[in-house]
Amino acid sequence: MNDTNISLATAFAGLELHSCLYNASGPWCTTREDLDSIGKSSSGAILTKSCTLEERAGNPSPRYYENQLGSINSMGLPNKGYKFYGEIAADIQSDFDKPYLISVSGLSLKNNLYMLAELNGNSNVSAIELNLSCPNVPGKPQTAYDFKQVVHVLTEVTKVNAKPLGIKLPPYFDIIHFEEMAAIINEFEVSFVTCVNSIGNGLVIDVEKEAVVIRPKGGFGGIGGDYIKPTALANVRKFRELLRKDIAVIACGGVKNGVDAFEHILCGADAVQIGTQYHREGTSCFSRIAAELQDIMKNKGYAKLSDFKGKLIQY
């Protein structure tokens, strides 16, 4: 049960969340019904599926698969188009007392600039998470692995954007890459980063069938779930260490219970998104994981996140 003496409240990018746990952009956040369900749940915020200029059907199915260890997806950005997510913002804000964030993932910089300019005129959009790390659109590289391009994108984006802006990053695997990326982000008006998107272009195999498990791109897709937790924790930890203190770090990757959320916060996360487990379990994951996290905090004598946030001990 929820323990009201133990607060999971957090704040970042000028937004106040009653709970630090909310949905990752991806699973069950595409339609109005999906977003209403998140609104009615214990989720601390409502985040949309990454959107494009026009509505997209995405890649051919099967395009999502999961086993006990995690998920592989090659959805290919199915979404209802940015206009839809802007148009429902006023209703979402009046129905639910929590921030409404739109994830934007244009197929070109020009498209991103156009969508950002439009969404900036909408006072009911609380913040924007700019996705620079989608691994699944055939022929489109993951922008955030091209540092020169990131500088160009952030230079142009921050000219048109005045809203709280976050960037969804892919996982990095080399210390020099953490340092280079953090140094770039530190130069711009960025309010938060989300670490991490799925590990791009993994491969899961069905041994019985001797076949891949998803159709697009020869079976290659983004990996989520337990498989990626150590990588996600490392990215949260390293970016927290390297980024300006006013830039929040939002964790995403391998969170299926209270322990996982606790670990991310210990690494310095200001909030924690849930992707693969939300896909499996639906919106009940937000209250279940909140109760588990509060239990851990109670046992350790912590009353609020700042009692342990970022306080990971190293030897």
Q: Is 106 in the site for ligand IRO (CB under 6 A)?
A: no
Is residue 195 within 8 A of residue 239, CB to CB? The reply is yes
- Where does this chain touch ligand IRO (CB under 6 A) — which range of 12-20, 126-134, 177-185, 286-294? 126-134
Q: Is 105 in the site for ligand IRO (CB under 6 A)?
A: yes
| Residue appearing with tokens 């929590």 | 98
CB-nearest residue to ligand IRO: 222
Residues with Cβ within 8 Å of residue 154, at least 6 apart in sequence: 167, 184, 185, 187, 188, 190
Cα Rg of the chain (Å, integer): 18
Residue with smaller CB distance to ligand IRO, 51 or 243: 51
- Where does this chain touch ligand IRO (CB under 6 A) — which range of 32-40, 70-78, 89-97, 296-304? 70-78
Q: How many residues does the chain have?
A: 315
The residue annotated as part of the active site, out of 20, 29, 51, 134, is: 134
Site for ligand IRO in 189-208 (CB under 6 A): 197-198
Question: Per the structure block, which two tokens stand in for 255?
Answer: 């969170």
Signed CA dihedral, 32, 33, 37, 38: sign only? negative
Q: Which of 136, 161, 276, 277 binds ligand IRO (CB under 6 A)?
A: 136
Residue with smaller CB distance to ligand IRO, 93 or 103: 103
Known catalytic residue: 285?
no
Reference 263, options 214, 298, 313, 217; nearest CA is 313
- Where does this chain touch ligand IRO (CB under 6 A) — which range of 40-48, 67-75, 152-160, 182-190? 67-75
Residue with smaller CB distance to ligand IRO, 133 or 294: 133
Q: Which of 41, 48, 73, 277 binds ligand IRO (CB under 6 A)?
A: 73
> 238: exposed, middle or buried (C-beta count within 10 Å: 0-12, 13-18, 19+)?
buried
> Which residues sit opposite 211 in a β-bridge?
206
Q: Is 131 in the site for ligand IRO (CB under 6 A)?
A: yes
Q: Is 143 in the site for ligand IRO (CB under 6 A)?
A: no
- Where does this chain touch ligand IRO (CB under 6 A) — which range of 40-48, 75-83, 149-157, 251-259? 75-83
Task: Give the separation between CA 113 and CA 117, rounded to whole angstroms.
Answer: 6
DSSP state of 254: S
Q: Which of 76, 219, 225, 268 binds ligand IRO (CB under 6 A)?
A: 76
- Where does this chain touch ligand IRO (CB under 6 A) — which range of 115-123, 130-138, 250-258, 259-267? 130-138
Q: Is 74 in the site for ligand IRO (CB under 6 A)?
A: yes
Q: Is 142 in the site for ligand IRO (CB under 6 A)?
A: no
Q: Is 216 in the site for ligand IRO (CB under 6 A)?
A: no
Task: Give the separation between CA 206 and CA 228, rounded to whole angstroms.
Answer: 20
Q: How far is the CB of 65 from ligand IRO (least distance, A)?
A: 12
Task: Give the separation between CA 277 and CA 247, rounded to whole angstroms.
Answer: 26
Q: For the residues of 21-75, what is the DSSP string, one character each?
A: EEEPSSTT-SSHHHHHHHHHSS-SSEEPPPB-SS-B--SPSP-EEEETTEEEE--
Residues of this chain that interact with ligand IRO (CB under 6 A) are 26, 50, 73-77, 105, 131, 133-136, 197-198, 222
Catalytic machinery residues: 134
